[in-house]
């Protein structure tokens, strides 16, 4: 890929280039295996962290860099060290506008002066302005909303506030902070968390008594707005809405939350006569003001971004594992995955594990951020193996943390980390948002987390007090990781991404209008200011589908639209996080304890009878899978093998035409015959393999009989002419070419659209499947119901093909199976098997030629879709 294009890639959407590992990290293992095949067996540890070092002297984070330099013997892997200097705080006196009660509350938690941004935002909020505070992690943002809210609520004894947090854990964290702040004086404000974990009794009490209600968008959507009359006291007196971690509301989740907030503001105005002020807190992004204004549909918003908090020195290391090329592939040595035991020492996973062990050994509190749940478990497993040898007393001082764990386990891990019982955690981004786990010295980052903002957010978890801190970003092979290793200044000097939401998404709008109509009848005259210009079209569509009915007025503006659908609570059928409600529970049979809950669509990749399942670095054998109750029972076991499913995924287009339709984009984009259509996605699991650990030798293959998993979604696709198939098949596998082309197109999507790449998947043919495979290049939304991404990229399809072709032709890898920089994809459902870069080049070139010829012959065709 050319430099120019990389720059485009950066400026358009770094955030969304997360190489999402859909099926745990089997895919990743497979990719690593390929790399291991290329790596020299004599690739000793001269470039790696010196293994098995028994030195456990205490070190400061700043001393660790030198220590690592010495222990690796060369700078082979440390490709860049960035020193980010300490910053002095800018303090101001606590403003006189605050009451004595507020002042003593602050003093009671050790705050005698405010950071300048805190004073600025508190005063702006107290004067009635909407405010967004966009300062660094740990810059005291919670004071910015807690103070004005407590102040306002203690002045007006009926005033209420609503706090929204994206996770339950953050809500609990905030409750603790608020109770500490208000401890010691009677402010007459009842505070409580109203979420899925709140008992019915508590809910009733809170509805009647709470003045500061802490909740999340899901509860607001499902349990507060639909039952708003039960909350009339709170809604009539609502003076503040606080939205913390506003950067979490982007993509599909952001779009849903934006509409939920519109529903809230509309009810406040139409039914309860209130007009709350908003306070947002967000991590730094390029557009905090625009993003938050769009999120809550506000016309004015004061931006506070001049950070007055002090910060200590941070050292940021870029670490690129150096892997010399292996000359020959010895299959017997490497087994099906091409990995042997020593290869473990060559992978970024093991590099992070060695670094993790090193930090813990030297008394540094550390979080190792991993991109997926399986990576977390692997890092924990490898790190424990290392510690077992060099510092066995520390083996139990580290653990894993991820969203799938039951909430009690997560709370226990958080408090053990906070209390110092644990000194290291391998975590997914579940720990990225601001749960207070105390002081952290070091953050490790296994691969680019998907956005620069996210990397900074994770790195910001360390160095929260006066002590210096260290962040080490360990790269995978892959376009973005390698790009940052080459151009570190893009990380440290480049712009941070924007947060984007599309509150006008017609599909999401219609879903929420159904809920809004049930909450209070809709009117074009009064509601367009909340729901935008798409309201009229959406109302018509809902009327035609039998959801809405109106009074007989002829004047469309004065028509009142009421809900007449069959569902009693339509909000229940809308998944605002594109997360499935159906989950499998994994239970430790001996202890009768729940280990994890897994979304239904992913469950069979991990749990089936005979599967080896990883949890907290320990191996379990799945003994029994109760399909009707969705429970997997497993027992702890020591096994010398792991298991991998054999499966395939079919995408069936519903209503799409294979023939070339005419399509001219409104935006003067090149014409394209690509179509966006509804589709059904079906995964079939037909067996699994038992594979020996270390040698990766396949021990046996076992048949599986599991129900298929199917969901409705949306796809964007372009037909590949038959004539190309004949040309390609003279030399290559046509399927392998289509597979590679799909991957290449997926890789360039972020050039044109900001989205979570994990929302999209390419069509991947199963290498062992001899059934008909459709001749097309196809991407689909990989969440049930779809997230609208396929539809949005359809007009750009010609551009996508051009960029994909450029990506393939500019990549200098010599293998016909390509590399992670061009056609290999960590998230590939078929482990990048049956893939051919040269065939993909012929296919994409051919499709572009066919497009050109088609449109030259139909120059006056009218747009039809």
Tell which positions 82-111 bind ligand ATP, by CB under 6 A: 109, 111
CA angle 487, 454, 123 (to 5 degrees): 120
Tell me the number of residues near ligand ATP by CB under 6 A. 14
Least distance from ligand ATP to the Cβ atom of residue 672, Å: 43
Give the strand pairing for 78-84 and 366-370. unpaired
Tell which positions 421-440 bind ligand ATP, by CB under 6 A: 434
CA–CA separation, 243 vs 246, rounded Å?
6
- Nearest in space to 716 (alpha carbons), one of 651, 773, 641: 651
Of 9, 65, 68, 114, the residue at the interface with ligand ATP (CB under 6 A) is 114
Least distance from ligand ATP to the Cβ atom of residue 460, Å: 7
What are the distances in angstroms from CA 107 to CA 182, 183, 184, 465? 11, 12, 11, 18
In order, the DSSP letters of 676-701 are EEEEEEEEEEEEEEEEETTT--EEEE
Please identify, using beta-carbon distances, which residue of 223 and 471 lies nearer to ligand ATP.
471
Least distance from ligand ATP to the Cβ atom of residue 111, Å: 4
Of 23, 37, 117, 141, the residue at the interface with ligand ATP (CB under 6 A) is 141
Please identify, using beta-carbon distances, which residue of 284 and 677 lies nearer to ligand ATP.
284
Binding mask 34-53 for ligand ATP (x = CB under 6 A): --------------------
Least distance from ligand ATP to the Cβ atom of residue 118, Å: 6
Of 6, 115, 688, 797, the residue at the interface with ligand ATP (CB under 6 A) is 115
CA–CA separation, 76 vs 146, rounded Å?
48
Q: How does DSSP classify residue 325? A: B
- The answer to whether 466 and 314 are in contact (CB under 8 A) is no
Token pair recorded at residue 754: 């900001």
Of 24, 140, 251, 765, the residue at the interface with ligand ATP (CB under 6 A) is 140
CA angle 359, 361, 367 (to 5 degrees): 35
Least distance from ligand ATP to the Cβ atom of residue 493, Å: 22
- The answer to whether 359 and 319 are in contact (CB under 8 A) is no
Per rule CB under 6 A, is residue 139 in the interface with ligand ATP? yes
Please identify, using beta-carbon distances, which residue of 311 and 353 lies nearer to ligand ATP.
311
Of 13, 77, 137, 345, the residue at the interface with ligand ATP (CB under 6 A) is 137
Per rule CB under 6 A, is residue 456 in the interface with ligand ATP? no
What is residue 470's three-state secondary structure? strand
Binding mask 383-422 for ligand ATP (x = CB under 6 A): ----------------------------------------
From the list 131-139, 601-609, 631-639, 743-751, the region that binds ligand ATP by CB under 6 A is: 131-139
- Nearest in space to 146 (alpha carbons), one of 120, 166, 172, 118: 118
Please identify, using beta-carbon distances, which residue of 116 and 575 lies nearer to ligand ATP.
116
CA–CA separation, 657 vs 864, rounded Å?
13
| Residue 735 parent element (H or E) | helix 734-748
Please identify, using beta-carbon distances, which residue of 281 and 586 lies nearer to ligand ATP.
281
Least distance from ligand ATP to the Cβ atom of residue 101, Å: 17
The tokens 């950067």 sit on which residue? 247
Longest Cα separation, the chain: 84
- The answer to whether 189 and 452 are in contact (CB under 8 A) is no
CB-side neighbour CA atoms (13 Å) of 324:
13
Please identify, using beta-carbon distances, which residue of 173 and 218 lies nearer to ligand ATP.
173
Please identify, using beta-carbon distances, which residue of 86 and 109 lies nearer to ligand ATP.
109
The tokens 């270390």 sit on which residue? 694
Please identify, using beta-carbon distances, which residue of 33 and 147 lies nearer to ligand ATP.
147
Least distance from ligand ATP to the Cβ atom of residue 500, Å: 21
What are φ and ψ of residue 399, in 5° steps?
A: -155, 180
- Nearest in space to 524 (alpha carbons), one of 560, 565, 549: 560
Least distance from ligand ATP to the Cβ atom of residue 89, Å: 8
Of 90, 138, 167, 342, the residue at the interface with ligand ATP (CB under 6 A) is 138
All residues at 6 or more sequence positions from 353 whose CB lies less than 8 Å from its CB, including other chains? 378, 379, 382, 383, 385, 386
Least distance from ligand ATP to the Cβ atom of residue 312, Å: 13
Please identify, using beta-carbon distances, which residue of 221 and 464 lies nearer to ligand ATP.
464
CA–CA separation, 664 vs 223, rounded Å?
43
Least distance from ligand ATP to the Cβ atom of residue 436, Å: 6
Per rule CB under 6 A, is residue 142 in the interface with ligand ATP? yes
- Nearest in space to 659 (alpha carbons), one of 864, 825, 444: 864
Please identify, using beta-carbon distances, which residue of 10 and 427 lies nearer to ligand ATP.
427
Please identify, using beta-carbon distances, which residue of 307 and 830 lies nearer to ligand ATP.
307
What are the distances in angstroms from CA 718 to CA 658, 699, 827? 8, 41, 21
Please identify, using beta-carbon distances, which residue of 445 and 776 lies nearer to ligand ATP.
445
Please identify, using beta-carbon distances, which residue of 122 and 827 lies nearer to ligand ATP.
122
The tokens 């109750």 sit on which residue? 629
Least distance from ligand ATP to the Cβ atom of residue 469, Å: 14
Where do contacts with ligand ATP occur on this chain (CB under 6 A)? Answer: 109, 111, 113-115, 118, 137-143, 434
């Amino acid at each position: 890929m050319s430099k120019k294009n990389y720059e485009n890639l950066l400026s358009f959407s770094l955030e969304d280039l997360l190489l999402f590992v859909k099926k745990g990290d089997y895919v990743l293992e497979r990719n690593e295996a390929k790399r291991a095949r290329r790596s020299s067996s004599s690739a000793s540890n001269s470039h790696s962290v010196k293994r098995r070092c028994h030195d456990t002297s205490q070190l400061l984070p700043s001393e660790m860099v030198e220590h690592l330099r010495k222990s690796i013997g060369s700078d082979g892997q440390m490709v860049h060290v960035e020193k980010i200097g300490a910053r002095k705080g800018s303090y101001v006196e606590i403003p006189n506008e605050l009451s004595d009660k507020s002042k003593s509350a602050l003093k009671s938690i050790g705050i005698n002066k405010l950071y300048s941004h805190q004073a600025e935002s508190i005063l702006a909020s107290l004067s009635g302005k909407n405010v967004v505070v966009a300062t660094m992690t740990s810059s005291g943002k919670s004071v910015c909303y807690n103070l004005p809210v407590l102040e306002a609520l203690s002045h007006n004894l009926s005033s209420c506030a609503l706090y929204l947090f994206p996770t339950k854990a953050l809500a609990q964290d905030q409750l603790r902070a608020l109770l500490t702040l208000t401890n010691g004086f009677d402010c007459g404000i009842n505070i409580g968390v109203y979420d899925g974990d709140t008992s019915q009794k508590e809910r009733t009490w809170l509805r009647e008594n709470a003045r500061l209600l802490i909740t999340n968008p899901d509860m607001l959507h499902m349990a507060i707005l639909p039952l708003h009359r039960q909350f009339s006291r709170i809604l009539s007196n609502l003076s503040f809405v606080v939205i913390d971690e506003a950067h979490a509301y982007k993509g599909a989740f952001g779009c849903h939350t934006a509409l939920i907030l519109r529903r809230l503001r509309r009810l406040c105005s139409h039914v309860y006569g209130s007009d709350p002020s908003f306070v947002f807190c967000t991590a730094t992004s390029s557009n905090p003001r625009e993003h938050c204004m769009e999120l809550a549909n506000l016309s004015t918003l004061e931006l506070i971004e001049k950070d007055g908090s002090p910060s200590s020195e941070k050292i940021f290391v870029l670490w690129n594992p150096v892997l010399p090329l292996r000359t020959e592939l010895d299959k017997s040595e490497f087994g099906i995955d091409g990995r042997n035991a020593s290869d473990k020492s060559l992978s970024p996973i093991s590099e992070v594990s060695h670094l993790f062990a090193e930090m813990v050994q030297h008394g540094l509190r550390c979080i190792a951020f991993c991109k997926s749940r399986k990576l977390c478990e692997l890092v924990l497993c490898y790190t424990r193996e290392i510690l077992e040898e060099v510092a066995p007393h520390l083996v139990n001082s580290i653990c894993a943390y991820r969203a799938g764990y039951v909430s009690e386990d997560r709370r226990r891990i958080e408090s053990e980390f906070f209390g110092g019982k644990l000194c290291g955690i391998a975590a997914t981004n579940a720990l990225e948002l601001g749960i207070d786990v105390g002081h952290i010295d070091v953050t490790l980052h296994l691969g680019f987390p998907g956005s620069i903002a996210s990397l900074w957010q994770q790195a910001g978890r360390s160095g929260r007090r006066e002590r210096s801190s260290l962040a080490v970003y360990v790269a995978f092979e892959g376009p973005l990781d390698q790009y940052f290793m080459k151009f570190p200044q893009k990380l440290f000097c480049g712009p941070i991404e924007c947060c984007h939401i599309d509150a006008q998404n017609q599909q999401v709008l219609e879903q929420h209008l159904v809920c809004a109509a049930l909450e209070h009848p809709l009117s074009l005259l009064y509601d367009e200011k909340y729901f935008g210009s798409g309201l009229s079209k959406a109302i018509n569509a809902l009327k035609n589908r039998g959801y809405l009915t109106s009074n007989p007025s002829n004047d469309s503006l004065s028509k009142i639209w009421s809900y007449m659908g069959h569902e009693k609570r339509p909000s229940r059928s809308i998944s605002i996080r594109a997360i499935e409600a159906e989950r499998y529970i994994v239970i430790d049979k001996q202890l009768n304890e729940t280990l994890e809950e897994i979304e239904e669509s992913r469950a069979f990749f991990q749990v089936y009878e005979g599967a080896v399942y990883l949890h907290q670095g320990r191996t379990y054998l799945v003994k029994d899978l109760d399909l009707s109750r969705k429970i997997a029972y497993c027992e702890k076991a020591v096994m010398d093998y792991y298991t991998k499913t054999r499966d395939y995924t079919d995408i069936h287009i519903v209503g799409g035409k294979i023939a070339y339709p005419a399509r001219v984009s409104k935006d003067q984009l090149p014409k394209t015959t690509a179509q966006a259509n509804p589709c059904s996605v079906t995964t079939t699991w037909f067996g699994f393999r038992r594979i020996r650990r270390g040698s990766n030798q396949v021990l046996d293959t076992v048949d599986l009989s599991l129900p298929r998993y199917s969901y409705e979604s949306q796809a964007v696709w372009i037909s590949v002419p038959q004539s190309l198939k004949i040309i390609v098949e003279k030399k290559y596998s046509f399927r392998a070419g289509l597979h590679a082309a799909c991957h290449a197109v997926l890789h360039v999507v972020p050039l044109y659209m900001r989205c979570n790449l994990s929302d999209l998947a390419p069509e991947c043919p199963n290498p062992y499947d001899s059934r008909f495979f459709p001749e097309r290049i196809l991407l689909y939304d990989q969440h049930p119901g779809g997230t609208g991404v396929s539809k949005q990229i359809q007009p750009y399809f010609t551009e996508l093909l051009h960029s994909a072709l450029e990506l393939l032709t500019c990549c200098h890898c010599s293998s016909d199976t390509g590399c992670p920089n061009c056609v290999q994809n960590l998230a590939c459902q078929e482990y990048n098997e049956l893939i051919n870069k040269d065939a993909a080049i012929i296919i994409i070139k051919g499709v572009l030629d066919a497009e050109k010829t088609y449109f030259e012959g139909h120059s006056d065709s009218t747009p039809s879709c």
